[in-house]
Chain A
Amino acid sequence: MSKAVLLAIYGDGGHRAEMTALIQALQQRSNHFSLVTLGDGMLSLPVLEHVQCADIRSKHRRVRNLLMTLPLMLVLAFKVWQLSRRYAFVGAISTGPGLAVTPMLVCRLLGIKTVFIETYSRFHSRSMTGRILSRIAQRFLVQNQSLQALYPNAEYCGRL
């Protein structure tokens, strides 16, 4: 029986650390799945394929964001569509940030199950990515219980 393939989408820094912790938690419970990653930097874990992508928004350059965000979002959407032609994903899971928006939307449109985990740095406010993906992802998880007041559809999952 071939293994199920999961698409993991994440950014750099804390988002990658969260994804690493998440995949390790899943692998502790099951060895019946393989990974394809779309992210900023590789995980220190075996994967079938990694597609490198930087975040669609700069942390410091507002003008770059105005010019580049939309084209980068479209590129990411196309990359996910290409991946979906090669792998029969059983699901897509993301720990953010903004680079996850169009890939998760494409997965949703293709009928791939989607789970988003809001970053653990949020306690009293919603991220832009969280605001959007709380409406797109089929399951929306938060790591801090205080966020359930801000996201009515959120499920609390503990901290990665």
Chain B
Amino acid sequence: MKILVTVGSGGFDELIKAADTYLNFSEASVMCQIGKDGYRPNNHPFVEFSSEFSSLWQTADVVVTHGGAATVFELLEAGKKLVVVPNTYRLDSHQLDLAEHLQQQQLALVCRDLTTLKDCVHKAMTQTFKPYERQPFFMADDILHYFGIPTS
């Protein structure tokens, strides 16, 4: 079993510290993707964020992620099991909005208390989530027409 912990490009040291402290499994390995100049875990291997992010999650069975929408949607589309930890240390709290939606739609497990991170990962390992279905963007022609740009 492989677990990836990711904080995206912005950093979320509190999540990496919690993973360092609480995520110790005999049956699973943990890899951390840290923010630029972020906290470096002592107990798990880690890499800094890069554009090669997709190569990191491909082999992961469970991904523990911050609540950034770009990361969450990329992982949901890949069918990954997610534990989403909204970053409430930011001044804005928009990650809670996405987390609430994910929980309501049963698309991911949401962890709001970092001290329960290990329990959340255990639950996610065995839980079945609904598949994510998105309606793709469909207004390209409309926007081009509005700006007076001809379509090819």
Residues of A within 8 A of B150 (CB): 30, 32
Residues of A within 8 A of B92 (CB): 59, 127-128
A26 CA / B1 CA spacing, docked (Å): 40
Residues of A within 8 A of B26 (CB): none
A124 CA / B73 CA spacing, docked (Å): 17
The stretch from B55-63, B94-102, B111-119 touching chain A is B94-102
The stretch from B40-48, B122-130, B141-149 touching chain A is B141-149
Interface readout for B45-73 with A: 1 if CB under 8 Å, 0 if not? 00000000000000000000001111001
A79 CA / B27 CA spacing, docked (Å): 55
Q: Which residue of the partner chain, among A31, A91, A122, contacts B147 with CB atoms under 8 Å?
A: A91
B-contacting residues, A111-134, CB 8 Å: 113, 115, 119-125, 127-128
Interface pairs (11), CB distance under 8 Å: A6-B147, A12-B10, A18-B70, A26-B140, A29-B151, A91-B146, A115-B143, A119-B94, A121-B95, A124-B100, A155-B139
- Contact of B73 with A158 in the complex, beta carbons under 8 Å: no
- Contact of B139 with A4 in the complex, beta carbons under 8 Å: no
* Closest A residue to B98 using CB positions: A121
Query: CB of A157 within 8 A of chain B?
Result: yes
* Closest B residue to A139 using CB positions: B146
A123 CA / B104 CA spacing, docked (Å): 11
Query: CB of A47 within 8 A of chain B?
Result: no
With A125-B97, A159-B134, A160-B137 known as contacts, the answer to whether A31 contacts B152 (CB < 8 A) is: yes
Q: Which residue of the partner chain, among A25, A32, A59, contacts B149 with CB atoms under 8 Å?
A: A32
Q: Interface size bucket, B side?
A: 35 or more
Binding site for B on A (CB under 8 A): 4, 6, 12-14, 17-18, 21-22, 25-26, 28-33, 57-62, 65, 90-91, 93, 113, 115, 119-125, 127-128, 139, 141, 143-144, 155, 157-160
A8 CA / B68 CA spacing, docked (Å): 22
Q: Which residue of the partner chain, among B68, B91, B97, B137, contacts A25 with CB atoms under 8 Å?
A: B137
Residues of B within 8 A of A128 (CB): 92
- Contact of B100 with A59 in the complex, beta carbons under 8 Å: no
- Contact of B70 with A13 in the complex, beta carbons under 8 Å: yes
With A90-B148, A120-B69, A120-B73 known as contacts, the answer to whether A125 contacts B94 (CB < 8 A) is: yes
Candidate in A12, A119, A141, A157 with the most chain B CB atoms within 10 angstroms: A157
Residues of B within 8 A of A91 (CB): 146-147
Residues of A within 8 A of B68 (CB): 13-14, 121
Least Cβ distance of A132 to chain B in Å? 14
Q: Which residue of the partner chain, among B100, B137, B148, B151, contacts A159 with CB atoms under 8 Å?
A: B137
